[in-house]
Amino acid sequence: MNLVTAFAAVGLTAVSWDGTLSRAGARSLRHALDYREPFCRMSDNEMVLLMDAVLALRRERGNKALMLQAAGALSPGQALTAYAMASELMRSDGPYSAEERRHLDVLALMLSIAQPEAERIDAVFDVLHASLFHQESVAMKV
């Protein structure tokens, strides 16, 4: 698996952790990729072909096997960025559910990201996506 496919695969597993890919999840993933190199230089057709390939891999192997294969293609720095993207995708629609939290814990393990580092990344998105009505209490946690 190449780097581009691996990075997109991590994002896909984040938005389809529960076995479904909603329209909002697909849109969030596309948005997360659109502003990163090399995805931002890809044509619409190239992006469709990439997503088709990643979806086919997910159907063939399932989320966990896809995450594991993607992890093997990423350097430690790329793994941190991929984890951060997954964490933000999962946090952007509300606080992490218990199932989302388990998915992120497994992803961090597969990407060889230590728990304190993963928690530090997740805390950033708690602040970024916090309700303005609860901003003071969230800021205190970080």
**Tens of pLDDT, residues 111-140:** 999 999 999 999 998 888 887 775 555 544
CA distance 14 to 89: 7
pLDDT of residue 23: 87
CA distance 4 to 74: 9
pLDDT of residue 77: 96
- Among residues 112, 85, 114, 102, the alpha carbon closest in space to that of 15 is found at 85
Contact (Cβ atoms closer than 8 angstroms) between residue 105 and residue 111: no
> Which single residue is written with the structure tokens 């090399």?
38
Mean pLDDT of 5-12: 97
% of the chain with per-residue pLDDT over 90: 73
CA atoms within 13 A on the CB side of 84: 12
Q: Is the pLDDT of residue 41 over 80?
A: yes
- Among residues 50, 120, 35, the alpha carbon closest in space to that of 83 is found at 120
